[in-house]
Amino acid sequence: MGPIYRLILIVGLVALAACGQGESTPAAEASSGNAQAAPAAPSPGDHEYAKLTANWSDAALESCGKPLRETLGTRDLVQGALDGVKDPAGKATAEIEDARHWKKQGDGKLASIRPQLEAGTCGADIPLALDEAVQAYVKAGTSAVQAGQIAGS
């Protein structure tokens, strides 16, 4: 998956998080002069990345480090989007379930290669599996954004 698709996903998820909640976005705060310079706390994906790669060789980091970081970051964004969907009326149940289904598919793909990741082994199959996980997460993110739009309408 190309960088443009990841960018579109990220923009969509950020829009979902800010949509209809009456909260200002960091960009809006910065433009109004109210920005606070607090560093972001590490995400669950950041912690997992650090744990998995702590003993990796330079070669493993070179070939699998970036795809792993992107996969875990995408997963975190999707989870945040899912957590942000408020649907008390149940109008977006199908989209929420679809998002959960695709997230589970991505989680399963990631789990299938976890033993190699923990061992610091980065064969040619690892980046491919990570890309497949990202594809599932993108589908989950798309459904989560749709759920947020439906629930907010």
Query: Would you place residue 25 in the very low, low, confident or very high pLDDT band (cuts 50, 70, 90)?
Result: very low
Instruction: Please write down the HEC assignment for all residues of 47-115.
Output: HHHHHHHCCCCHHHHHHHHHHHHHHHHHHHHHHHHHHHCCCCCCCCHHHHHHHHHHHHHHHHHHHHHHH
Question: Distance between CA 8 and CA 134 in Å, rounded?
Answer: 13
pLDDT value of position 22: 41
Whether 39 shows a pLDDT value over 90: the answer reads: no
pLDDT value of position 34: 56
pLDDT value of position 38: 73
Whether 18 shows a pLDDT value over 50: the answer reads: no
Whether 27 shows a pLDDT value over 50: the answer reads: no
**Residues 95-135: tens digit of each pLDDT:** 999 999 999 999 999 999 999 999 999 998 999 999 999 99
Question: Distance between CA 19 and CA 14 in Å, rounded?
Answer: 8
80: left (phi over 0), alpha (psi -120 to 50) or beta: alpha
Q: How much of the chain exceeds pLDDT 70, in percent?
A: 76
Token couple for 139: 């589908």
pLDDT value of position 36: 64
Over residues 63-80, the mean pLDDT reads 96
